[in-house]
Amino acid sequence: MGIGMMARVHAIGYMLEPVKVRFRKGVRINLLDVRLDAAEDESRMVPRWLARILHTNGMVEVQEQDMGIELVRALSRERIAGEQLTSLKGDFYISLKEFISRQQGQSRDRLMVSLHDVITLRLKKMMDYSRLMGADTMAEVEQRLSVEERVLFRSLHDAVREFREYLLDGDEVKRPGLGGERDAQR
């Protein structure tokens, strides 16, 4: 499964998770299987997808972690860690994309610059780690990665392994089109 498809599947799960909201005004909803009866200033947990709709319509204030702060923290940790790859929550980029989509103007621009910096630092580190061999190393690195990064890391690791095997397999060098097991497979 590709990065985009994996992220979409996880984003669906993310949107189904509950989030705390504070109602700005009384709300009464009874539509299909969704029932909600809340008073002004009441706080309650609702599915993230519903919170997003209610927020867009000015009915609630979503009370969740500020992903802008989390992004700055992640960038700082990556810079301080040097060559080491720090841990991110599995839904880090999903949460961040959702947060950024609600921002406007300079705030959005600053977040995008910081996101670009985090991606660049982490890509370099993942490239370095992808050269390492061994299942235990793979498992150790993968637990530090977001959902999207895991897909990318596995692809990088597999491509590096295949490249090494091709060049270092000990067989004589074969010219393309002159037969051999590899040519028959391609």
Query: What does the chain look like in DSSP terms, one character per residue?
Result: --HHHHHHHHHHHHHHSEEEEEESS-EEEEETTEEEEE-TT-EEEEEHHHHHHHHHTTSEEEE---HHHHHHHHHHHHHHTTTSPPP--TTHHHHHHHHHHT--HHHHHHHHHHHHHHHHHHHHHHHHHHT---HHHHHHHHTTS-HHHHHHHHHHHHHHHHHHHHHHSSSPP--TTS--HHHHH-
The reply to whether the predicted model has a pTM over 0.85 is: no
Give the CATH number of the domain where residue 98 resides.
1.20.58.2050
Identify the weakest region by mean pLDDT among 34-38, 116-120, 182-186.
Answer: 182-186
Q: How confident is the model at residue 90 (pLDDT cuts 50, 70, 90)?
A: very high
Domain identity same for 24 and 71:
no
Domain identity same for 96 and 43:
no
Any domain includes 58: yes
Domain identity same for 42 and 75:
no
Supply the range of the domain harboring residue 80: 67-168
pLDDT at 161 over 90: no
